Structure 1
């Protein structure tokens, strides 16, 4: 049995997972986050002589991967030791005999660095069809202090951190040395797989409607996850649907006076890092704008449209197919910054621009799927919190709403992409 898609053979790198870096812990919008005050007692100093184990799910599998480690919000060099990649066994544990060591890494403040390619000797061609939905663990220990931790706050999946002072946990298959859990992702922001030429990535770009607020924790039922499974069910194993959403993100904002913003850099500013710098991308699915029109954003429609045009031009200049979307309603929401009539008027005006074809050549009518025509609000069957089992906030659709979003995008995407 021979590992597949070796670099140098007929293949290329394809990004198969992402978690866009949005700031330094704890700036961000988290979901069901445990108290990390014992694991990280001093946020500006970060992790201290400490191990972490991040659980990640590649959309497509190969016997060869590389990982991008982001320290873009760091203020000092980051020293990673005992770097390991392994098959996730469940909880904070690795499957025995699957750990593969990577070289130590020293990353300068403000930098993001790809690891060298790493081969998984236990993964062979015959096993690949059975790997869909499985996860890898990326483990390492921080020597000294990490300083501010570059992170993705809302990962909707559980990862693990050792107590401060435990440098050896990363090299242990067991979960015993990782008592602390997080629903966020530290340091790693992208994974590439070496895959045959027909394989490619579809990047979903946006805010919390893409990042997954109100979906099921560890349920992997964001609309991007649903769309990935739809492509598998249709027999298309060459497509990786990658999630580059950030909760709270804005297209043109945030306002300079707001300081460090929980939603990270504006979409127009992060387009290169989170889309164009990823590998093997052919299509971008863009659902965004509601935060720009909120009380926190206060942008007019023309400003958002202009910022989107600039980003769309960049993507099209790279030969990418761009599919946009209308924005569903937040009318009547009790979530701070949302719910007002003025926000809804700007949202509807933006949707008019989308439907007229003034922004995107193709678009998914997400608004028509999620917004009730009579009340003008998020449909009742979609207004719930699948994460905590609570009432919905009127902005974020539940897991059923995400399935409806996936259905709208899939119908547009499959018109051309896989004919």
Structure 2
């Protein structure tokens, strides 16, 4: 089984000491801002209009109170919201109003993100919280796709409402707790987002890793998922590149200690013409060095994830595969990263290493399935993040 290679910098102790002066606020759940994906058609775009949208979010830590971060950073029009309420998804008790400086109806300007007033909800680690938002007018959200439930008009969507994967407007939930945990941000594309895991079942590798941390060193480490389907390291596509979104999706979060970087497969594949491969290794290495340098400036350690195989996928060709192999050698051997997570070794076929092992990928031969995500999560050495049995 593959595991994290030795760190260049020694792994410090898990930061779980009590902070003087009282409780602290930490990110407990995240979803990256992403431009409107233009789902639907120009004549009938997919949007919310006079509807209530319920989003269930599983928190990566316990909380004595919550704040919700609602974003219009990548929106194209003011974001009009009202009737926000929060509750424990599977608990008792009434829904609690969510306000902004006491206001229950707000219009968030283009380019801005607002954080709500504290909400009096006590949540256990890995507890599910539901946030319901009424959209009084036609709205095109600008956050990556997440599982949501939708009902017409005002009112909470029941558990029986169908779960769909749609863009929404919630980009983070902050949890109040008595001590500051170690915070790990996973930065990547659809493989990190978990777009091909079973819907709303928390089987993406980041969720499984979080469960492993909690079982081994309870309450000490929080894992945040900042993956976006189709994301690239160097170039904008359906979302801003990793380089372009680094400030918004990592550096703007409080108290980040580690980043796991798994980016590049979308850069190196061709865009429909096999005679025109994607980015070369030299370009990608420059991008990796830039990400690491900027994160090191903030004393954030960076774990490099090797790129998983893609032989048999629709955009596979030998030049791109050669680039993947070159990048994985760089990630494993160059020493620019503080540690290595060998996702490639975890999921590749030992007899045909350019492709996934049997039973670990979707039919597209590019994305892991639930089993592939399990192998990825199990390949990570928890001790490299300071996590040891409590």
TM-score band, normalised by shorter chain: 0.7 to 0.9
Q: Give, in angstroms, the shift of residue 98 of structure 1.
A: 4.1
Greater RCO, 1 or 2 (C-alpha within 8 Å, sep 6+)? 2
**Equivalent of residue 259 in structure 2, options 284, 291, 307:** 284
Change beyond 3 A, Cα 1:241–1:141: same
Aligned-pair RMSD on alpha carbons? 2.6
**Equivalent of residue 45 in structure 2, options 40, 43, 46:** 43
- Partner of residue 200, structure 2: 218
1:247-297 CA distances to partner (integer Å, 9 max, x unpaired)? Answer: 11100014xxxxxx33x1000000111111112211111112111110037
CA contact (8 A) 1:49 1:143 kept: yes
- Partner of residue 97, structure 1: 94
CA contact (8 A) 1:331 1:377 kept: yes
SS in 2 for 1:397: coil
| Residue 307 of structure 2 is aligned to residue 303 of structure 1 | no
Structure 1, unpaired ranges of 5+: 1-6, 28-35, 255-260, 386-391
Cα distance in 2 for partners of 1:397, 1:144 equals: 38
Change beyond 3 A, Cα 1:51–1:360: same
More moved, 242-251 vs 194-203: 194-203
Cα distance in 2 for partners of 1:382, 1:355 equals: 26
**Equivalent of residue 149 in structure 2, options 136, 143, 160:** 160
Q: Give, in angstroms, the shift of residue 81 of structure 1.
A: 0.9
CA contact (8 A) 1:207 1:288 kept: yes
- Partner of residue 248, structure 2: 273
- Partner of residue 388, structure 1: none
So what's the TM-score if we normalise by structure 2? 0.85
Cα distance in 1 for partners of 2:387, 2:126 equals: 22
Map 1:310-349 onto structure 2 (within 5 A): 310-333=290-313, 335=314, 338-349=315-326
Cα distance in 2 for partners of 1:95, 1:248 equals: 39
Map 1:10-159 onto structure 2 (within 5 A): 10-26=22-38, 42-43=44-45, 46-89=47-90, 95-102=92-99, 103-104=103-104, 105-120=106-121, 123=122, 131-146=124-139, 148-153=140-145, 155=146, 158-159=147-148
CA contact (8 A) 1:51 1:140 kept: yes
Cα distance in 1 for partners of 2:270, 2:33 equals: 24
More moved, 227-236 vs 354-363: 354-363
Structure 2, unpaired ranges of 5+: 1-18, 272-276
So what's the TM-score if we normalise by structure 1? 0.80
SS in 1 for 2:133: strand
Cα distance in 2 for partners of 1:303, 1:326 equals: 16
